[in-house]
Amino acid sequence: MDDLAADLMLLAARPDGRLDVPPKLRFGLSGSELVRLAAARRVDVADGRIVILDTAPTGDPLLDEALALMTGSDRPPTAKAYVARARRRLVERYLARLKDDGIVQADRRKMLGFITVNHWVVVDTARVARARATLQAVADSTGTVEPAQAALAGLAFAIGVARYVFPGVAGVPARKRLKEAAMRDPATDAAVRAATDAAIMASISAATAAATSAATSAGSFH
């Protein structure tokens, strides 16, 4: 489960090595935190609401921040509310972690002669291949998959990065299989299963709401 967030980001790598950062990525990262905290026995999910089991630090600063946010009010949030919550520079901090691990590097360029634009380029192509292989294994499967595979497949489907691996019409059967495999009960503990289901559904909901809001905002200028 520790590689879940990194795998999710690396699936958005293009053939030329450039790493896309889709707007929906933040929902998938928040969803991955929920699943990882469940796997670490810090939280559970019951009736859609996060249940705190243990507030002890995990040793991962970003994951500990997520846990603190879940425990910072009188009542823990619903999974849907947590995943949809805007968190300052969440994606950038996960990208910085990939950079520190030597997996990506920043490519800064000037636009219009004075605007600096940051792009991210993958330098560890083997690491991307590993993430893609995990998703391919789910697409090729016919039965129950491992918990980490189910989480990656479901979140990749939910935020649309599965289309980078299985694009266009030809990729429809594979993408459909990812969703089916993720939502099928794997042989795992109830907390991880509940968190995975909640994270996937919350990511789909948040991504849909964000797309609708963007479309409405765009329409208001016409």
Backbone phi and psi for residue 16, each to the nearest 5 degrees, phi listed first: -80, 0
- Quick check: 165 and 132 in contact, CB under 8 A? yes
Supply the pTM of this predicted model: 0.90
Mean pLDDT per segment of 10 residues, for the chain of length 222 residues?
Answer: 95 93 93 95 94 96 95 88 92 96 85 67 96 97 90 94 96 95 74 91 88 58 45
In this structure, are residues 121 and 107 in contact, taking their beta carbons and an 8 Å threshold?
yes
DSSP class of residue 145 equals -
Q: So what's the pLDDT on residue 113?
A: 59
pLDDT digits (tens, 9 = 90+) for 145-200: 999 999 999 999 999 999 999 999 999 999 999 999 988 766 567 888 899 999 99
β-strand pairing of 104-111 with 115-122? antiparallel
Structural domains for the chain:
4-126+189-214 (1.10.3630.10)
Q: What is the pLDDT of residue 32?
A: 96
What is the distance between the alpha carbons of residues 50 and 163, in angstroms, rounded to a whole number? Answer: 30
pLDDT, position 172 = 97
Q: Hey, CA dihedral for 17, 18, 19, 20, is it positive or negative?
A: negative
Question: Please, are residues 132 and 147 in contact by the beta-carbon 8 Å criterion?
Answer: no
Return the beta strands (E) in the chain as ranges. Answer: 18-19, 43-46, 49-52, 104-111, 115-122
Using alpha carbons only, how large is the chain's radius of gyration in Å?
A: 18
